Amino acid sequence: MKRYLKILSIACAWLVNSGHAQDLSNRGKDFWVGYGHHQFMEPGQDDSQEMVLYFSAEEEANVTVSINGTSWTRSYHIPANRVIASEYMPKNSSIYDCRLFTLPPSYGGTGSEGIFERGINIHSDVPIVAYAHTFGKKSSGATMLLPVETWGYSYVAINSGQVYQNNCFSWLYVVAQHNDTRIEIVPSVATRSGYAAGQVVQVTLQKGEIYQMVGANPSNGLSALELTGTTIRSVANASGECYPVAAFAGSSRTSNPFSCGKGGGDNDNQQLFPIRAWGKKYFTAPTSRSTAASYFMTNAYKVLVNDVNTVVKRNGKVLTGISNRCYYFESNTADIIEADRPVMVAQFMTGGTACMGAGVGDPEMIYISPVEQGINNIGFFRNNREGILFNYLTLIVPDRGTGLSSLTIDGVALSSLPAANRYTYKHPQSADYSVVVYRWTGFAAYPADAPGQCLVQSDSAFTAITYGLGSEESYGYNAGTNINSLNAYGYIHNQADSSVKSHAFTCAGTPVEVSVMLPYQPSSIYWKLSALSAVLTPSADVTQTNPVYQELTAVKAGTYYRYRLPGVYSFSATGTYVLPVTCYSSEIDRCDGSENFEVTIVVKEKPEAAFEIAQPTPCATDTLYMQGEEVEQHAYTIKQWMWTFNDTALTKGIAVKKVLNKAGSHTIRLSIVTADGCVADADKNVTTIAAPEIAYTYTGKLCEGRNVAIAAEAATGAEEVTAWNWNMGDGHLFVRNDASSFEYAYDQYGTYHATVTAVNADGCKSVPVTHILEVQPVPEVKFALPDTVCLPGGKALFTNKTTIADNSALSYQWSFGDGTPVSTEVNATHLYVAAGSYPVELTATSAYGCSTAYTQLLNRFNHRPVVAFSVQPEQLCQGMPVVFRDASTVEGDVINQRQWSLGDGSTASGGEVSLVYRNAGDYTAMLQVTSSKGCRSFPGSKGVVVYRQPVIEAGNDIMAKTGAAVKLAAVSSAGAYTFQWYPSIGLSSTTELQPSVTVTDDITYYLTATGEFNCTATDSVHIKLLRAIEPPNAFSPNGDGVHDVWEIPYLDATPGARITVFNRYGQQVYTSQGYAVPWNGTSAGKPLPAGTYYYVIQTGSEKGPLTGAVTIIK
C-alpha cells in the first residue's frame, strides 16, 4: 500500500515568494492523539488530571471521537465559527481507560513504557482544527494536533528540561494509522523500563496503537533524564512497507529551569513536526508577561538538528555547544535563527519572577514554525481552564508590503483593536518583519464558557504562537501553521504562454507541461499517468531514470531542482485531478528510499474562440477583415489572438486583415490564448474568385530627372483587363488603357514604390505589383577656373567642386578645349602653349552610372615677368653689408610682389635689400617677382662670396716684475693668416702669434691678423710692471700737510689687497679692501693716540701676507 503526499500545481512566482506548494496545515479531517503520562497517574497520586479535546470549525462540522480497541465513541456537532470541548477522556475508573500508563518497574510494571492499543481518533466531515488539553490542580498542558496527511516517517524529539519531583518524567509516544507499522526509536538517554541510551528499539504497531517511551530517573531525585534528541523512524515491515506515523513529546510535570531561575510546575505535551517539514529560517519573539503586552519574559530555546554537522546561527553568530542534537540559548528579545540544513525550534517558558518578571504564569513548551511554513489564515482556541486569566497571541508578520496593514484579528483590523491590548514593534533582526502582540483579559473564569475561537488573517504568510497565563498556570502551542513537506513542489505550465514558468490551473484541451521541484537529485521519477487515462492524453506511465533537472532554483526552503515530465499533455474534461508521482533517492528517509506525491491539477472550462469576417467583394485580391470577439465566460482574459489561413500565414491581433490572392475555398482559423495560457480555436470558410495576374518591367538607368522606359504585361486574364492603374510612388497617379511601354522620370532621387494594379471586366483587381525603384542622384557638376594663366609655361589649375547628394564615389573626365587628351583627375592641371579662348568641360559620373557635364570658357592669359637684379659688392669680408637691387620687367604690366631668398635662410620682399652675412661662404641669392595680374616669374639667381674674417685674442693682461721674461698667449681661429705685433719693443718676434717679451716697464702691444681678401682683425694686451711693497714704519697725522696719511707705495697696483691694523691689545682699529684711500690714523672716525700699531697686508702673493709695525707720531 502506497501513501501519496499531496502537492498542488502552482505558479512559479508564488512558489518563490511563498516557499511551498502544498495546502497541508494543522487544519484537517482526521487526527490521532494519546492520553500521555501525567504525574497524577503515578502511585500515591489521586489521578485527578483530566484530558479534553477542543474542536474549532470555520464551517459547520460533524466530529466523531473514538478510542481504538474499544466501543467508546462520541459525536459532536460544531456550528460554524465555533469551538466546542469534548467530554473528559476515559481514565482509571472506566473500562475505556485510554491513559498511557502502567505501574512503575518497582511495582512490577513497565513504568508506562510500551505498546498501548487505545489511541484516540478524531474524525470530521469537513476540515477543522483540533487540540488536546491535559490539566488538573494547577497543572496544565495543551497541544495543537496535526492531521494524518501531514505525518512523516522521521522525527527527532524536543522535550523540556525535566526537573520537578521523582515521579515526573520526560516522555514521548508514537501513533500508527496503518496495521503492521514498524518503528525504530533510538533513545538519547536511558529509559524507565531499562533501555540504554543509543539502544535501537524496534516495535510493530497496528492501526490506532501507541508506543510510549519514558526517560529514566536514575537518582530517584527531582531531576530525571530528558529525551531530547531521541530519534523516531518508520522502517520497513516484513512486507517491505513503511508508513507515516505521528509523534508527541512531553513531560509528566516539570519546572523546566532556566539559568535565570525557575518556578511552578506544569505538564506539557506537543505533537512533533516531521523532519521533512522542518525549515532553515525561524523568527522568534519572546512571550509577554501577564502585566502588559510590551513587557517580555526570558524564554529558553532549543534548536534541534537532524545532521550534527548543520551550521546554526543566531542573529548571524554561529551557535556552539550542541548536546543530544540540540543547541540551547535563552533570550528576552526577538531573534532570527538560520541554518544551512533543516532544523526544528522549540520555545519554553518557566515560572518565577526571575525569568517571568512580574505577573503570573507557569512552565510551557511550544514548537514554533519556520518562515517556510508561514500561513495567512488561522483559527485557534482561547482557553480559560485551570485559572487562566490572560490569553496572548504573538505573530511575526511581513510588512514590506501590505502584510501588516491587511492583518485582522476576529475580522477587526489591527489598527482598530484597543490600543491597550496590542503592541507592535519592528523585528530587530529584519526590517521586513514586525512582531504583533495581542492580549485578552477580563473574560470569565472556568467553569464559564471558554473565550473560544479566534480567527486571524493577512494577505501575507505569518508565523504565530498563542498562550495563556494564570496564577501558577499556563498553556501554549503553535497558533496555526502549514506542515508541508519541503521535499517537493509541483506545478504546471500551459505551453502557449511563455511569459511565465507556471500556472495555477489549465483548461480542457490546452497543451500543458508538468514539473516537480525536489531538494535532491533523484535516481528515478515514476509518473503514473494511467491513473488519469480517462481524461489525459497521452496517458502511458513514464519512468525517468537518472533524470536531468531543467533548472536550479532558490526558494525559502532552500535550493530545489526542477524536473519536467517529458512531453506535452492535455485534459479532455474539467475537474481537479491527482497525478501520482514517485521519486527514488538515497536521501529520502523512507525505508525503500521512495517518496510518493500527488500533483493536484485543476482543469477549468475551455475558453471560447469566436470571430466575424467582413468580405466586401468575392475577389481573391480584395481585403478580408477579421474581428475577434471577447466572449465573456469563466472570467478569462484573452491575451493572444493568432490567425492562420490556407497558406499557413500567421497574423496576430484581435482585428486583422488579409488578402488571400487565390481563387477558391479558404479556411480561416482563430486561435486564442488566455492570460492563464489556456487555448481554443474557431474555423470559418470563405470563397473567392480569380483576378488578373500581372507584372511590369523597366529599362534604363534610374537617375534623377532621367527618363526610364516602363512596360506592363499580363500573365493571365490579359484580354479582360480594362484599366491599368499606376501609382508611381511620388504622388503621381494615372490610368492607362493598355500595357504599352511609356517613359517616366523622377524629379528627385530616393526610393519609390511604383505600383500597378489591373482591373478586369468583373471589377476584380489584380494583386498590386510593386517594384521598389531606387532612383539615384545625379552629380551637381561645378569647377573653378584659374584666375590667370601665365605665358610662357602657362599651367592652368582647375578646382573640382562637384557634389552628389548621397556622397557616393564619382569618376571624372576633363576636356580642355585645345584638342589635347582628356584627364580623369579629380582636380586637373593643363599646360597651355598660347593665349586664346578655350571651352573647358567636366563630366562627372556616379558609381551607379548617372552622369552630368558642365562647360566654362577659359580666356584669362597674361605675360610672365622677367627677373633681373644687381648685387653690390659680390665679394666681401665676413660682417660687411651687401645690397641687392631689383631690375625685373613685365610686358604690359607692373611688378607688385617680390620674393627674395638670400641663401642664408633669410628672405625679403623689397625692391632694394641690404644684408650682413654672419658666416663666410658662397651664397646664391634668388628672386621671384609677381605682376599685378598674378603672373609669377621664373626664379633668377646670383652668387655672393663672403670671406672669413680672422678671429684673434692677444691674451689676458699681464702683471710682471722688472726683467721678467713673459710669453704672450695670443690665440687665433683656424686659417691661413699673417700676424703683426706693434710696437716691437722687447718682443722676440713681431710676426709670430705668441712671441716672448722681457718686462722693463708698463706697455701695451697690438696684434693684427690678415686673411683672404685682406680681411683683418686686431686685439691688444697690456703688461704692467710689478714693484715691491714696503710700508713706511711711521706717519704723523697732525694736519701739517706732511706725512698726514700712511702712504704705501705701489699698493694701489694690487686692488685685491686687504689691510688690517691692530693696537697693542690685539684690537682691530682699521681695515680696508684695496688701498685707494690711505689710512689717516683714525678708528671709527676718531683719532687714535700716538703709539705703535701692528699691520697685516694680504696681497694674494704666494709668499704670504706682509706684517710689521707702524708708529703714529704726534
For the chain, first and last CA: distance in Å? 153
The predicted pLDDT at position 12 comes to 36
Rounded to an integer, the average pLDDT of 984-1008 is 91
Which residue(s) pair with 875 in the sheet?
945
The predicted pLDDT at position 556 comes to 56
Which residue(s) pair with 122 in the sheet?
31, 65
In CATH, the number for domain 783-862 is 2.60.40.10
pLDDT in tens, 940-959: 999 999 999 899 999 998 88
Rounded to an integer, the average pLDDT of 358-368 is 92
Residues 6+ apart with CB under 8 A from 732: 726
pLDDT in tens, 394-430: 999 999 889 999 999 999 999 999 999 999 999 999 9
Least confident window among 507-511, 631-635, 637-641, 1017-1021: 631-635
Rounded to an integer, the average pLDDT of 781-797 is 92
DSSP 821: P
Residues of the chain with CATH 2.60.40.10: 5-20+486-604, 611-688, 693-775, 783-862, 864-944, 952-1026
**557 pLDDT band (50/70/90 cuts)?**
low
Question: What share of residues in the chain are helix, strand, coil (percent, to 5)?
Answer: 5, 50, 45
The architecture CATH gives domain 952-1026: Sandwich (2.60)
DSSP string covering 314-346, please? ETTEE----BTTEEEEEESS--EEEEEEEEEEE
Q: In what order do the strands lie in the sheet with 907-908?
A: 875-877, 940-947, 921-931, 895-901, 907-908
pLDDT in tens, 122-139: 999 999 999 999 998 888
In CATH, the number for domain 5-20+486-604 is 2.60.40.10
Predicted structure pTM score: 0.59
Widest Cα–Cα separation across the chain: 168
Mean pLDDT of the chain: 91
Compute the distance between CA of residue 651 and CA of residue 643 in angstroms, rounded to an integer: 5
Query: To the nearest whole percent, how much of the chain has pLDDT over 90?
Result: 75
Compute the distance between CA of residue 578 and CA of residue 528 in angstroms, rounded to an integer: 10
pLDDT in tens, 230-257: 999 999 999 989 999 999 999 999 999 9
Domain 864-944 is in which class? mainly beta
Residue 199 has pLDDT above 60, yes or no: yes
Nearest to 363 by CA among 86, 215, 168: 168
The architecture CATH gives domain 693-775: Sandwich (2.60)
User: Which secondary structure element, helix H or strand E, spans residue 739, and what is its range?
Assistant: none
**Superfamily (CATH H level) for 611-688:** Immunoglobulins (2.60.40.10)
Query: Contact at 8 Å (CB) between 244 and 235?
Result: no
Residue 17 has pLDDT above 60, yes or no: no
**How many H helices and E strands in the chain?**
2, 90
Nearest to 487 by CA among 23, 2, 17, 22: 22
- Which CATH entry fits the domain spanning 1034-1112: 1.10.3910, 2.30.30, 2.60.40, 3.40.50? 2.60.40
**647 pLDDT band (50/70/90 cuts)?**
low
Residue 6 has pLDDT above 90, yes or no: no
**660 pLDDT band (50/70/90 cuts)?**
confident
